[in-house]
Each structure stands twice: as C-alpha cells, then as structure tokens.
Homo-oligomer: A and B are copies of this chain.
Amino acid sequence: MSGGPLEGVRVVDLTTVVVGPICTRTLADQGADVIKVEAPGGDLLRTMAQGSRHPGMSGKFINFNRNKRSVCLDLKQEGGMDAMRRLISGADVFVSNIRPEALARAGLDYPSLAPGHPRLIHCSILAFGRGGRYFNRPAYDPIVQSLSGVAGTFARATGEPRFVPMVMTDHTTGLIAAQCIGFALYRREKTGRGEAIDVPMFENMASFVLSEHLGAATFDPPVGPSGDNRLLSPDYRPLPTRDGYITVGPNTNVQAFAFFDAVGRPELKADPRFASAAARTAHAAAYFEVRKQGLAQKTTAEWLAIFAKLDVPAARYNSIDDLLEDPHLADTGFFRAEDHPSQGRLRRTRVANIFSGGNRDDEAHAPLLGEHTRAVLAELGYADSDIDRLLASGAARD
C-alpha cells in the first residue's frame, strides 16, 4: 500500500478546462487529496468536449479529472464562500486559473489569504505575468500559441503559421505549475512557511520556444539568424516511403554511415558535408534531401526491418487509434479497464512515471459534478442540518 509521494497533501482546486486541471490531476495522480471546487454550471470541459455517455461527463473531462473529488459551491452566495474559506483553512495548496482581478474581488488572492494561512501554498496560473501590459487580458491556448512563438515556428518551417493540434500551452504550463508546487512543498518543509507562486502561460511558453530557438540571437549582437535550422526545416517531419511514412534518426556517425549504406549512397560517408554531427547540422537541408530521396525507394515495413538490423533509430508514426494497439504500451499495462460507477466501462491510462518509493495505488474515478459535496462538507465539520440548509439555498449543490 502506498499513497504516492504527495500522500497527505490537501489541494483545493479552483480551476477549469485544461491548464489548471492537468496541474491538479498530476498532484492527484501522485497522491494528493484534490478537492475540485466547481460552480453550479460545472467545469466547462464537462460539456464543451465531445464524446460522452451522459451529459456533463465527457471523455476529455474524465481524463483530466480522475483521482479528484468534486464539491459544487456557489461562491456568489455567502454560504458558498464560507465553505470555500473553510476548505482553504484545511488545505496545503490552493490552485486557481481565475483572472487575477476576479480572484482579488472574491478575497481569494494571496494578500487576502496569507495572514490567516501562513503555511498555504497559493498557486496562480495566469495567462500573462504581473507587471506587464497584457496582465489581466483574457487568453486561451491558441492565443498563447500565437503570442509565444509556437505558431511562428510553423511559419518559419512551412510558410504558414499553425497550432500544435493540442492545447499545448495549457497542458505544458499546467505540468509546470505542478512542478512549482512540488518545489514550494519541499521549501515549506525546510522553512515552515507557505508562499505564492505565479505561473504565467505566456512567459513559460516564450521561455520554452526561446530556449530552443534563440540560438545565434542568444548573442548580442546576434552571430546569425535566430532559430534551430534543423528543427525549422520544411522536411523535419516523417518522410514518405513507397507506401506511407517513416521517421529516422541517424544522428551519430555510426548511425549516419549505416544509413548512407542502406540507401545506396556509401560515397556520402566521405562527403565533408556529412562527415560529422556538426557538419550534418550545418548542412541540415542537404541531409534531409538525401533522406527524402533514399527513403522513397522502399516501403515503411521494409525500411523498419533494415534499420532494426542496423540499429538506426526508426519508427512509423502512430495515429491516436494506433496507440490503443501499441505492443509496448500493452506490455507495460498502460491501458487499464475501469468500471466507472456512473459512466460504465472506461479505458484508463496509467501514470507514466514510476516511483520506487511507491505510486498512489488507491486510484479513484473522475467525479460527477458535486458528487462529494456532502462528504467534504461533513469533513469540514458542517452538521447534517447545516449541509441541508446549504443545499436548500443553492449555496452548495450535489
């Protein structure tokens, strides 16, 4: 039996859609007791995403909200706010992705809460950081993909800006927020004190893009154009074979030379453009062209067999549906059958990261809206009659 590395950590989660829910799901997957506080309409992701057996329980909501409990409170009513304050009093961590002005109006910003809760870790996931002119502007993932340079990397590569077909900036920033909370939990063990953490999407993603692509513009004045030319090549993609696509990674000399032999171009081993990793990077466009011409000659399956023998990294690409049949994922028990108490038989992915000190082993289902309102209010010390009154007034719902 193990509760995971975050066993005993209580998190109050006032977040919606993806950026906050992936943060708190990560904490929950690793053992934290996450109480998701939802407004009477529920997290928008319950209904906004397609694919559900019952209204309000979309597949996407289920995946981002497993292992949490749901409490439904109307924070516009005093009774709802009172329950919220009691929840926070018992919490180690409070996470929100509410716009900062609204959070302050509700009295849930750090300056309001810190005096009464010196051990609280208060994490604000923001679109834009404090002190800059975009602070408090609304933003969604595609806005941040546009401003942070993600869409711009596609424009450099293909001539046309494009988004990653995922809510990549939400998802990545949420994972980073969980990371920051872990660091603050560690520091609190040392100092006894909580703190506020600002996790801005725009700055995190600008940092992500620029760490990879500032390149020659890291120097002032720049020593060349910004951008990693290998990653920004139009041909940085799975390349066509006779019947499909293949990805190859002949990066070391041994791999590259084996590749040249395999595609019938042994003379390139002596070509100064391709004789070292640095030379191949400098001549990325020419190297991609060699790959492209060579790979078109055989089928994907033929190439995979050849490259497996030569120990040249190579792979076909998996569609979303292919993943469900991937043999390695099957070997490692990545997909598990779950009997959800209200939604029936589900596919559940397991936590990717393995802790030898024990992962959480009491996994729980994604909750219905307000499924745990009664239980959690009772834990907070509300008498049954008080809970009835809150439910009757609509300040709490179940």
Q: Which residues of B contact A187 (CB under 8 A)?
A: 5-7, 355, 357
Q: Provide the bound-state CA to CA distance between A51 and B212, in Å.
A: 12
A131 within 8 Å of B (CB atoms): yes
Q: Which residues of B contact A346 (CB under 8 A)?
A: 218-220
Which residues from 100 to 129 on chain A have a C-beta closer than 8 Å to any C-beta of chain B? 110, 128-129
B217 touches A59 (CB 8 A): yes
A 344-385 binary contact with B (CB < 8 Å = 1; else 0) = 111101011111110000000000000000000000000000
A34 within 8 Å of B (CB atoms): no
Q: Which residue of B lies closest to A30 (CB)?
A: B183
A152 within 8 Å of B (CB atoms): yes
When the two chains form the complex, which single residue of B30, B58, B151, B231 contacts A247, counting CB atoms closer than 8 Å? B151
Q: Which residues of B contact A222 (CB under 8 A)?
A: 51
Q: Which residue of B lies closest to A51 (CB)?
A: B216
A218 touches B347 (CB 8 A): yes
At the interface with chain B, which of A71-79, A81-89, A169-177, A263-271?
A169-177
A331 touches B211 (CB 8 A): no
Q: Which residue of B lies closest to A366 (CB)?
A: B218
When the two chains form the complex, which single residue of B48, B142, B323 contacts A236, counting CB atoms closer than 8 Å? B142
A315 touches B183 (CB 8 A): no
Interface centre among A22, A211, A332 (most CB of B within 10 A): A211
When the two chains form the complex, which single residue of B179, B199, B332 contacts A129, counting CB atoms closer than 8 Å? B332
A356-B195 in contact given A53-B223, A183-B30, A218-B63 (Cβ < 8 Å): yes
Q: Which residues of B contact A275 (CB under 8 A)?
A: none
Q: Which residue of B lies closest to A63 (CB)?
A: B211
Q: Which residues of B contact A202 (CB under 8 A)?
A: 328
Q: Provide the bound-state CA to CA distance between A224 and B49, in Å.
A: 12
A284 → chain B closest CB, angstroms? 9
A 325-353 binary contact with B (CB < 8 Å = 1; else 0) = 01111011110010000011111010111
Q: Which residue of B lies closest to A59 (CB)?
A: B218
A292 within 8 Å of B (CB atoms): no
Q: Provide the bound-state CA to CA distance between A184 and B193, in Å.
A: 19
Q: Which residues of B contact A132 (CB under 8 A)?
A: 327-329, 331-332
Interface size classification for chain A: 35 or more
A50 within 8 Å of B (CB atoms): yes
Q: Which residues of B contact A58 (CB under 8 A)?
A: 215
A286 within 8 Å of B (CB atoms): no
A180-B247 in contact given A219-B59, A320-B156 (Cβ < 8 Å): no
A290 within 8 Å of B (CB atoms): no
When the two chains form the complex, which single residue of B216, B334, B345, B356 contacts A206, counting CB atoms closer than 8 Å? B334
A374 → chain B closest CB, angstroms? 27
Interface centre among A156, A223, A229, A354 (most CB of B within 10 A): A354
A309 → chain B closest CB, angstroms? 13
When the two chains form the complex, which single residue of B167, B195, B216 contacts A355, counting CB atoms closer than 8 Å? B195
B165 touches A236 (CB 8 A): yes
| New A-B contacts (6) at CB < 8 Å, excluding given A186-B186, A187-B357 | A146-B317, A150-B164, A167-B231, A176-B179, A187-B355, A189-B189
What are 29 inter-chain pairs, A to B, with CB distance below 8 A?
A: A8-B190, A47-B278, A50-B228, A52-B223, A60-B211, A62-B218, A129-B354, A131-B333, A133-B327, A138-B313, A139-B249, A143-B314, A146-B316, A151-B238, A156-B165, A164-B164, A165-B232, A171-B212, A175-B175, A176-B179, A180-B353, A182-B182, A186-B186, A187-B357, A189-B189, A191-B357, A197-B355, A197-B356, A210-B323
Per CB-CB distance, the 3 closest pairs between chain A and chain B, nearest first, are A51-B216, A182-B182, A59-B218
